[in-house]
Amino acid sequence: MNQANIIAIETSCDETSVAIFNDKLEVLSSVVASQFKWHERFGGVVPEVAARAHMELLNKSILQALQDANMPVSQISAVAVHNGPGLAGALLVGLSAAKMIALGLNVPLIAVNHVHSHIYACRMSAGKDIFPCVGMVVSGGHSILFECQTALEMKRLGGTIDDAAGEAFDKVAALLGLGFPGGPAVEREALSGNPNEYAFPKSFFYEDRLDFSFSGLKTAVLYTIAPPGQARPAIVESGKKRADIAASFQKAVVDVLVSKALQALKKTGLKRLAVGGGVVANQTLRQKLLEDTKLNGIELYLPEKNLCTDNAAMAALSVEAWKQGIFTSLDVDIKPTVF
């Protein structure tokens, strides 16, 4: 049988991304067009702006991906798309484009779940099967634990009841005057700080439940910067206090994430852990995951850094569906809140 080539589209949030991969999971091209300059001045992602930016960037990204892969459209065998979860307007742009390409080329459409793809990024980086495993996704929009019996069977075990881990990084970065996106900025600032200077709250840490909550932690950081009743300084002076807050905040998030992942492994009896999403680009998190899984006899799978944050290459999850002949009707809708 000829090699199958799939073109994939990701527009769930603020990256416009298109990738082409084959059924051997070889990524032939991967374009990620950042919308940073559209959102920077708002200090966060504005949904309406994201949708408009996808409109502007998507066609160029599709053409670029075909050119980078040196592939005529006639060699495309299917179109994959993340149709949720994510921002409704942003998802609509990607899904509409995917449907039109599938219709125009008369090839199957394969809609996959963006969060599941974050876990599949670990499978791609591993270069071998990683299922069954516990999957954890820690990103700007999500903090979720899954029991993954196969790539196509991911059962939600728990997740955040308020902010996502990446969102907490972004909000704390804003409180500390570190800019946007906050994760890498907080990580940099934390390098020179003492992670044990402030004992920030770790929600549900001692509880037997597989959920997260980061809003109390964010408030604790705010009150460390400016106690209740006092005016908040426009920016926290750079220096020891700012670095210590960043390092102590990062430690609290990392401790909670790693302990909940280990709890999920214990509950399910599974021996493999795959962690995906933008926050897993964080070196402190990666290091603690490595140490604690080793101590507990767990195989750990992490994506390479370029597969951590949002991208279309991780939609190679669609190859699993392709192999089983599972295709999606062109009537499919966006699923902004489905995990």
Question: Which CB atom, from 41 or from 128, has the smaller least distance to ligand KG4?
Answer: 41
Instruction: Say which entry of Zn ion, ligand KG4, none residue 135 contacts (CB below 5 to 8 A, set by partner kind).
Output: none
Site for ligand KG4 in 170-199 (CB under 6 A): 170, 181-184, 187
Is 334 within 8 Å of 83 (Cβ atoms)? yes
Give the residue from 209, 295, 197, 181 showing the smallest Cα distance to 252.
197
Stretch that binds Zn ion, among 24-32, 160-168, 296-304, 310-318 (CB under 5 A): 310-318
Rounded CA-CA distance 280/298 in Å is: 17
* First and final C-alpha spacing in the chain: 34
- Could you say which of 14, 244, 310, 320 contacts Zn ion (CB under 5 A)? 310
H helices present in the chain, as ranges: 36-39, 47-68, 88-105, 114-126, 165-175, 182-190, 215-225, 240-268, 283-295, 317-323
Q: Which residues of 254-274 are buried (b: 16+ CB within 10 A; e: fewer)?
A: bbbbbbbbbbbbeebebebbb
Question: Which CB atom, from 76 or from 312, has the smaller least distance to ligand KG4?
Answer: 312
- Could you say which of 147, 189, 310, 320 contacts ligand KG4 (CB under 6 A)? 310
What are the residues whose beta carbons fall under 8 Å from the beta carbon of 57, sequence distance 6 or more? 16, 33, 35
Instruction: Say which entry of Zn ion, ligand KG4, none residue 183 contacts (CB below 5 to 8 A, set by partner kind).
Output: ligand KG4
Instruction: Say which entry of ligand KG4, Zn ion, none residue 279 contacts (CB below 5 to 8 A, set by partner kind).
Output: ligand KG4
Residue with tokens 């290091």: 287
- The minimum distance between CB 85 and Zn ion, in angstroms, equals 9
Question: Which CB atom, from 22 or from 309, has the smaller least distance to ligand KG4?
Answer: 309
The reply on whether position 279 binds ligand KG4 by CB under 6 A is: yes
The reply on whether position 17 binds ligand KG4 by CB under 6 A is: no
What are the residues whose beta carbons fall under 8 Å from the beta carbon of 51, sequence distance 6 or more? 87, 89, 90, 92, 93
- The minimum distance between CB 91 and ligand KG4, in angstroms, equals 12
Site for Zn ion in 133-172 (CB under 5 A): 139
- The minimum distance between CB 177 and Zn ion, in angstroms, equals 26
- Could you say which of 22, 35, 309, 318 contacts ligand KG4 (CB under 6 A)? 309
Rounded CA-CA distance 28/22 in Å is: 7
* DSSP label at residue 107: -
* DSSP label at residue 234: S
The reply on whether position 135 binds ligand KG4 by CB under 6 A is: no
Instruction: Say which entry of ligand KG4, Zn ion, none residue 187 contacts (CB below 5 to 8 A, set by partner kind).
Output: ligand KG4
- What is the contact surface with ligand KG4 in residues (CB under 6 A)? 13, 139-141, 166-167, 169-170, 181-184, 187, 277-279, 281-282, 309-310
- What is the contact surface with Zn ion in residues (CB under 5 A)? 139, 310
